[in-house]
Every structure is written in C-alpha cells, then in structure tokens.
Structure 1
Amino acid sequence: MSAETGIDQGRAAFREHRWTDAFENFRDADQQGGLPAQDLERLATAELLTGNLTMGLDTLTRAHEEYLVLGDLVGAARCAVWMVMHLANAGETARAGGWLARGQRLVNELAEPDAVQGFMLLPVALETLYGGDPEAALQLFSRMADFGQRFGDKDLSAFALLGSGQATLAIGRAEEGLAMFDEVMVAVTAGELSAVPSGIIYCAVIGNCQLALDLERALEWTAALDRWCRDRPDTLAFSGQCQAHRAELFRLHGAWPEALAAAAVAQERSSNGDPRALYGGFYQQAEVQRLSGDLDASEASYRQAARSGYEPQPGLALLSLARGDAVRAQAMIRRAAGTADAATRRHLLPALVDIELAVPDLPAARQGAQDLLAFARECPRPMVGAVAGQSDGEVRLEEGDPVGASRSLRQAWHLWAGLGVPYEAARCRVLIGRACRDLGDEASALMEFEAAHAEFLELGAAPAAAWAASFMGTADGGGAGPLTPREAEVLRLVASGSGNRAIAGELYLSEKTVARHISNIFLKLGLSSRAAATRYAFEHGLAG
C-alpha cells in the first residue's frame, strides 16, 4: 500500500472514529514517506485515544514542529495547548508549564485574532479554578466563550460552557451550574464535538453531578458515556473514568461485587491510557471495603487513590471514625471542609455531621445539618433532600426531639428508597427505630432494627449490621440479639475455647456447617476474630 493510500484510509478511519485503524494506516504511511502536519496531529490524537500516551505526545510534538516549519503559528499553538492538557492530565506539571509558555508566546505573535487564543485560556482558567478562585476562573471562561462564538468553534464554546458550569457550582450556585452542564451535553450527545473534548466533557459533567449530589443526572450521563465508549471500543482514554463512575453508581445501589469489579477495571485502565481513572478506581474500592468492614484494605486503597493528587475524603475521615478515633476523624473532616469550595464542602457535610455527633460536638453537627437543609431548599433534588433529612433527623435525636427526628428520617427513608440506595435507607431505619424507642414504641423500634439488620446482612455490611444488632438485645443488655438459637449455641462453645471439630462433635454437625455458623456470627455481630466473639459472649450473657 502506498503512502498516499495509507493517508486516505487513515483520514477515513479518523472521520469514522475507528482510532486503531486510523493509527495503523497513518503510522504505515508515516514510515513510508512521512505525514503532513495535519495528519501528524490526527495520528497523535488516535494514539492518545487508544492509550499510547508517550507515543501520542511524541507525535504531537512532531506536528507542532512541522507547523512551525510551515510558518503556521495557529497550528503550532493548537498543538501546544493540547500538549499542556495531556501533560497536566498525566501529572507532568513542569513540562505542561513549559508548553504553556511556548503556546502563549506563539499566540502573542499572531497577526490576526484566532480561536486558538481562546484555547490558550483553557489551562489558565482551569488552574485558576482548581487554585481556589472560581470567580476569576468564571471571567476567563467567559472570555473563552467570546472567542468560541466569534470564530464559530464548537469545541471551544463547549469547553467554555463546561468550565463556567464548574466555576458556578464551586461558587455555590448549584442549579445554575447544573443547567450549564445540561446545555453542554446537548452538543456532546448530538455529535457536534470532536472526540477528545467529548470524552473530557462527559467525565467532567458526571463527576460534578456526583459532587452536587444529583444522582439522577449522574446516572443518566453515565449511561450515555457507557454507550459512547461501547460505540468506540478502542477509545481507552476515557473508558477507565467511565468504569470509575459505574463503580460509584453500583456502590450506591447496593451492587457491591459489581462495584469492585468496575473499580478494578478502572484501576487497570488508569495505567493503560486513562490516568484520571486512578482516583475513582481506588476510592470506590476503598468505600466498599470500608463499608464491608475490611478496614486495613480500605486504608491501602485510599492511599492508592491519594497518589492521583486528589484527597480521598470524606472516606478517609470516616475510616478513622470506623476505627473508633472520632477526634482524628473530626480534625480531618473539619480541615477538608474548611478549605473546600462551596460545592465540595456540601459533598463533605453528611460525613461531617456523623463525625461531629460521634465526638460529640452537637452545635457543630447542627450547623452542618442546617447547611444541608438550606442546600435542599435551594436545590430540591431527591438525593439532596435525603442527605439533608437524614442529617437533620440524626441531630434531632441527640437534641432530644424524637418526634421531629422521626418526621425528617421517614421523609429521608422514602427518598433513599425511591433512589434505590439501600445502605442509606437501612441507616435511616435504624435511626427511625431509635426515635420509636425514645417515644416508648418498642414493638415498632424492633421492627425497624430487624429490617435494617437484614438489609445490612444482605449487602455484606458487617459493621452496620453489628450497629443495628446492638439495638436488638433485651432491655438489660443480655440475650442473643440477632443470632439464631443454633448460632447462639455455637457462640457459647466458641467462648468456652472449643475448636470447630469439638463444636461439631458436641452439636452433631459437620465442621463445614460449624464454620458457616461462625462466619454468620461474625457477619451479624461485626466481629473479625474468635477472641472478639468470646468477649461479645461474656458481655451479653451467652458464655455460661
């Protein structure tokens, strides 16, 4: 095949989003006789989208240099700005800064205004936004929008609208920011944008919807991203982030094995073409491990997530709380919330309320709950209402207002159930049970505790199951609680020091059956060792 034929076939494959075919045809043509600057740029894009980061950056550098030879400063500057974006995405900030300076110098040499001047504002605006000045970033994104409109550049206009939505959300105007995300997604789903901007915008919009506690929008756009990735199976550059978003939705909806599987795929792809998937892949894995009671593994996963440069909060603070160190958890969540922008702080508030109640610092917990209630009034969306109602109910319980608590918690439970979030719905039922008990309705309290306990067991949430079980014993603290009579008998023998074989012999069971009973006991009571089971048996009158 001649170089000319390879170029023609590469261009056709590129137009049809067949990135591997485009890469192979352009590469063969390049080896035979070289490529024009525009086709080098296309080859670089195909390489980057298929996960060949180093190769793609080298080719993009060649395209930049070829544009310079031709005297095409616009093309050279365009390559420079994409070098900045890809290098920053890969964490190579020094190289990104060098390319930013070069691109700005080239833009300053242009004889006529051009859309590339707007693109050069993008990395500066993002640095300003992530540096904590969303108002200044919003002004930069507005200037970008002016360039996009002036030159009819849809990619630039879409980036400007995306950034404006992010900055608006960070300022605290959630509904306005979310409306901007919906608008920019019109251009993406209509196929008006090129591939790299489309992938960036998909992932950014989903992440920000999750930050704003808009589960329904996040679910809708994640499904759209999933379809987009399936239609382009060799687009590795965004598929890992898609899997990380899927992992979060699986976790929220109680499909924890599926969440772990998606997180594992995200981790694999983070090192194979999609570095931004690193945080989500490990953070979601850590969340499932924490909720399941595997705290050491959870900590290791949070540490891996932190390698991305993003702080693994509120999960890390909640991990300290799960280990019984409420003071440390309080210091972590207060610092994180105190330095966050408005949108991120709101995302941290539910954990902050839980931790402040555990310390306890009731005034701080009440302030957090009030902030969530104000957010719910501003943005009347189901998940915001659920977290606000649940936090308000928790605080009211500690304030001695079981009637008000019950009202808030039942509303929150209905919202969680409607959203299909079983873990939080079960947490609400435990809190509702506490309110019933405080009001003297013991029968209803036990019904709520038992329902929540069964849901936690089904999820595999051992710590939460033990928490629910702690309210299910008799009034004097004795009794088997959530254990069946057979499990209570096995626990008695464990507490006596008997091994599995001896227990099997005494109860006329197989050792396999005894092992299953012990596993169930550990899960129901949130225990991890025979020593802990023995201690529980003595504390609850089951060892004699």
Structure 2
Amino acid sequence: MPHARTDDGRKLYDAQAWAAALEAFAQADRETPLPSADLMPFGFCAFLLGHEEQSIDLLGRAFRGFLGAGDGAAAARAAFWLAFVHESHGDPARAEAWGRRLAEIVEDAGLGAERALVCSGLGHVALASSDPEVIRHALDLSREAIELARPVGDTDTSVLSRLSAGWALLRLGSIDEGLAELDDAMAVVTSGEVQTPIVTGAAYCSVISASLRTADVARAREWTTAASDWCSRNPELVPFRGECLVHRSVVKMLDGDWPGALAEATRASERLHPADVGLARYQMGELHRLTGRFTEAENAYRLANSAGRRPEPGLMLLRLAQGRAEAAEVSARRLERELASNAERAEFLPAYVEVMAAVGEAGLAQAAADELADMANAAHGPVPSARALTAAGIARFAAGEALGAASSLREASLRWHDLGMPYLEAKARASLGRCYAALGDDDAAALEIEAARGAFERLGAGPDLAAILGHLPSSSGPLTPREVEVVRLVAKGLTNRGVAEELVLSEKTVARHLANIYTKLGIASRTAATAYAYDHHLL
C-alpha cells in the first residue's frame, strides 16, 4: 500500500496541482524516502515551479535508484531528463555528460525504444553548430528519433525531436518546411498528448522563438496567446524561463503593450543565467529608448554589452535620438562593414538607413534599402516587405524624391497596419506626412501627422512625439531634422565652424549637410538658405 501522502502527491500531480503535489511528495519523502518511480514526478514538479536545483537532486536520486534496481530503461529516461534540466539551468557541460551516460546505458543494456532518447539528445546538441553538414546530421538524428518514438507511443521524445528537426530545417534555409515541422509538434502539444508537462513549456518557447527568428509575427502572436492561455490555466507554473520571457516581451512590444513588454523583460533579467542576461538587458534598453528614458536605456545597453549581447542597433538609435548624429554615424559605418549574416543585417539595416538619412548620406541609405528589398524578395514575408518599403521611403526622401518616397511609405504604413504593429505604422505615417508636406499637400500631411501623433501618445513614445511636434513637415519641407538645425544656425549668421561647435559636429560634416540642403532646395548660397528658413518659419 502506498503511503497516504505519496498517493496524494500522485493524484495532485495528475490533476496538475504542482505546488500541492510538491508539498505532498516532500512530506512523504521526509517520512520515508520515496521510490524512484515517485521521485520522477516529484522532480518534475520542482522543475515546473522553478526549483531547478531541487529537481536535479531528485532526478539524480531517481536515476541511482533505477540503476541499482537494474531497470536500465527507466535509468535511461532519468538520465535524459537530467540532461534536459542541466541545460535549462545553464550548465551545458553537465548536460552533455548526462547525454553520454544515457548513450552508455542504452548501448550496454541493448535497449531499443530508448534509442530514441539518444538520437533526440544528440540531434539537439548538434544544432549548436554553425556547420551546415552538422546541422543536416542533426536533422537526420531528429527524424530517426521520431521514427523510433512513434511505435512505442513516446510522444514526449517525438515532440522534442520534431522541435529540433524544425529548427534544423530553419537553419538550413527551408523556412516553410521547418515551420510546418514545428506546427506538427504543436498539434501534439495542444491536443494534450504529451506525457510530461515540461515538454509543453519547452514547445511553446521553441515555436515562439522560431516565429520571431523568421519574422513571422502573426505566428509568434498566435502561439504567444496560446502559451498565455496555458499559463493562465496553470498559474503555478514557471514554464517560460530566460530567453522565452524575452520573446514574449518582443511580441508584446510589437503589439504596442510596452508596459507589459517591460515587465516581461525585467522578469527575464531576473531569471536568466548570467551568460544569457544580455538578451533581456538589450530588450529593456529598447523599451527605455522608445519611451524616452535615455539614462535607463544607456545603462541597459551597457549591461547587455557586458553580458555579451551587442548593444547595437539600439545604442546607435539612442545616439541619434540624443542628437548625437555623428556618433551614430560612426557606429553605423563600422557595423555596416562588420556584420555579415543575413539575420544580423536584417536587424541592423533599417536603423542604418535611418541614421544615414539623418546625416545626409542619401546614397548609402538607398544602397541599404536596396539590400533590404533583396532580402524581402527572398523571404516572401509581410514583415521583411514592410521593413523594406519603409527603408525605401526614408532613403528616397533623404535624396529629395518626395513623390517616390510617399508611394513607398504609404504602402509600408498599410502593411504595418495589417500586421498590427502600431509603432512601426506610426513611424511610417510620420515620414509619409513629411513627404506630403514637401509635395505641398498640407491637408494630407496634417492627416498623417495627426494619426502618427495619436499613436505615439497612446504608446508613450516620447521622443517620436517630441520630434513630430518640433519638426512639422509643413515647415521643414524635404529637410531632415538635422538639416533643419543646420539651416536655423546658418540663418542666425553662424559660420560652418560655429555650426559645428553648436551641434558637436565636424566642419566637414556641416559642409556635407549644407551641400545636401542646397541640392534638395535648389539653391546655391547661405543667403538663399536663410531666406528659406524665414519663409518656412523655421526660426
């Protein structure tokens, strides 16, 4: 007969009452050490509630008990979960050691069904490589694990292996096939077929991460909602650790829930292991920058950098928002040469276009916009397309092509609207308003500016709101905010050196700004620039 508290623990575990089950198992274990079969769910409860060290201790006891009893199959499964928990705990060396122990047990005992665990684990480890051949091997191992798990009804291993297979396909460039594999895994999860609840949390985290990586925001939003519903039904769980919380923060930020996004990023910074905390710190920096908390943003980017996460392009955009365009330009030029992978450049180039346009480098902005267009054509997704259209509009406006810019930005604003991304839609509409003003259509400009201003106010986007109120397009025409500053100072009688000192720029940069101003306005002298400033109420 089982101990009464042990029996309670089992029933509570089956009922997904994890905290109560943990307490029941703990009380029973204090009275009489639990057998290995009960230590396993006891350890799972500890993991689900965020007690990873306790989980490792309990699963280790279960492993030793199974091994001592000669139950190789159960010992192999305990070793598999020890590898899983160690990796989640930020200890990959011990995770790999348990993976090797698992393989030894399966080989020595001649186990068949448990070979799926070995293949699944090896496939997951191989995904860390950047070598395409190793990643193909990871795909083969994961598919072998799926085939081995299917006939014995091992849905846990099948789901985890499908997740690995999906990621391998994504890494190899087979985006549609990879996402389909992940969806197949999630079909098993959402139907309630998984045997260990840990798998459910891991699966949600994995598919949201993959959706963001492929810029499939609609998919990320869908799975984030499903994950949130699952969490609300299981309020005791701590399934989203570290990086998963960062992903939830990103989705909330894109949806316009900036307070919620900051809360998730802050939680992530508290739960991530030191080696990974840079992800959360960078996300916090982004949210602080967008809301105008520049000191907090600066600190967050600094901490992200210390933790190994590159602080750009966020820090570069912070410098631009602070009026330090020259510093932003220096970083932008360095990173343009430094970043090589498509993923890195897709994140960086929109910011690069913005910086180059602000400093009057229309040609460089256009080249980057063209690169984004090529990426969008290859990706066939709505987000890359909207991103490329926005960049094209900004670059064309910087080059004085207000009509072409307006066409791109109008389409971009519609795409961002359809995607449900209010901040990026408002940014595109603010730029569109400037284009309409440059074309002399003040009514259309006012409508776009008013729509953008309303969105910025709702979001709390202080810097963008200040920019849109301080640089009305009907006044500045085709000039960038920095060029307006230069014209204002020239109109006050300052020399190039005086302008440079006032704006903390080099004289060479000031001269370049003036050349761009002359080209855009069709003028040829400082006197004409001064007249323009008075005519357009820039002073």
SS at match of 1:71: coil
Cα deviation code 1:58-100 (max 9, x no counterpart): 1111112112212233333332332222222222233334333
Cα distance change, pair 144–475 in 1 and its aligned pair in 2 (3 A): closer
Q: Distance in 2 between matches of 1:148 and 1:376?
A: 34
Q: Give the stretch that moved more between structures: 396-405 or 274-283.
A: 274-283
Give the conservation status (yes or no) of the 8 Å contact 2:167–2:178. yes
Aligned to 2:416: 416
Aligned to 1:13: 12
**Cα distance in 1 between the residues matched to 2:395 and 2:473:** 24
Match of 2:461 in 1: 461
Aligned-partner Cα distance in 2 for 1:302–1:111: 52
**How far apart in 2 are the matches of 1:135 and 1:317?**
36
Give the aligned partner of residue 169 of structure 1: 170
Give 1:328 shift. Answer: 4.5
CA separation in 2, counterparts of 1:246 and 1:231?
Answer: 18
- The TM-score normalised by the length of structure 2 is 0.77
Q: Comparing 453-462 with 420-429, which one deviates more in the overlay?
A: 453-462
Q: For each residue in 1:480-533, what CA deviation from the matched residue of structure 2 results, as whole angstroms up to 9, or x when unmatched?
A: x9xxxxxxxxxxxxxxxxxxxxxxxxxxxxxxxxxxxxxxxxxxxxxxxxxxxx
Tell me the distance in 2 between the aligned counterparts of 1:38 and 1:280.
38
236 and 452 in structure 1: CA distance in 2 versus 1, 3 angstrom threshold = same
TM-score normalised by L of structure 1: 0.77
- 2-side partners of 1:353 and 1:173: how far apart? 29
Give the match for residue 237 of structure 1: 239
Counterpart of 1:139 in structure 2 is 137
Question: 2:176 is aligned with what amino acid?
Answer: E
Residue 210 of structure 1, CA deviation: 1.7
CA displacement at 1:199 relative to structure 2: 0.6
Alpha-carbon distance in 2 for matches of 1:149, 1:471: 62
**Aligned ranges for residues 171-190 of structure 1 at < 5 Å?**
171-190=172-191
Following superposition, the deviation at residue 135 of structure 1 comes to: 4.8
**How much does 1:330 deviate?**
1.9
**In the superposition, relative to structure 1, how do residues 166 and 147 fare at CA in structure 2: closer, same or farther (>3 Å)?**
closer
2:181 partner amino acid = M
5 Å-filtered alignment, 1:89-488, equals: 89-115=88-114, 117-152=115-150, 153-193=154-194, 194-238=196-240, 244-268=246-270, 270=271, 281-305=280-304, 311=310, 314-323=313-322, 324=324, 325-330=327-332, 333-334=335-336, 337-338=339-340, 340=341, 342-343=342-343, 345-358=345-358, 365-472=365-472, 475=475
User: Which contiguous aligned blocks of 4+ residues in structure 1 show a shift greater than 6 angstroms?
Assistant: 239-242, 274-277, 539-542
Are residues 440 and 451 of structure 1, via their aligned partners in 2, closer, same or farther at CA, if it must alter by over 3 Å? same
Alpha-carbon offset, residue 245 of structure 1: 4.2
Match of 1:55 in 2: 54
What pairs up with 1:71-86 in 2 under 5 angstroms?
Answer: 71-86=70-85
Q: 1:422 to 1:138 in 2, by over 3 A?
A: same
Structure-2 separation of matches of 1:191 and 1:469: 52
Percent of residue pairs identical? 33
What pairs up with 1:479-518 in 2 under 5 angstroms?
Answer: none
CA distance in 2 between partners of 1:123 and 1:312 (Å): 33
Closer, same or farther in 2 for the Cα pair 1:304/1:409, shift >3 Å?
A: same
In 1, distance between residues paired with 2:127 and 2:96?
16
- Maintained 8 Å contact 2:285/2:296: yes
Paired with 1:85 and 1:336, the residues of 2 have a C-alpha distance of: 35
Partner residue in 2 for 1:495: none
Q: For 1:463, what is the secondary structure of its paired residue?
A: helix
Q: Matched residues in 2 for 1:366 and 1:275: separation?
A: 39
Counterparts of 2:360 and 2:93, CA distance in 1: 45
Partner of 1:488: none
Q: 1:197 to 1:409 in 2, by over 3 A?
A: same
Measured on the aligned residues, the alpha-carbon RMSD in Å equals: 3.5
Kept in 2: contact 1:225–1:242 (CA 8 A)? no
Q: Deviations over 1:168-227 (max 9, x none)?
A: 223333333222222221111111112111111101111221222222111111111011
Is this contact kept in 1: 2:413–2:425, CA < 8 A?
A: yes
Contact conserved, 2:116 with 2:149, CA < 8 A, in 1?
no
Give the CA deviation at 1:165: 1.9
Do the aligned residues in 1 keep the contact of 2:123 with 2:142 (CA within 8 Å)? no
Whether contact under 8 Å (1:226, 1:242) holds in the other structure is no
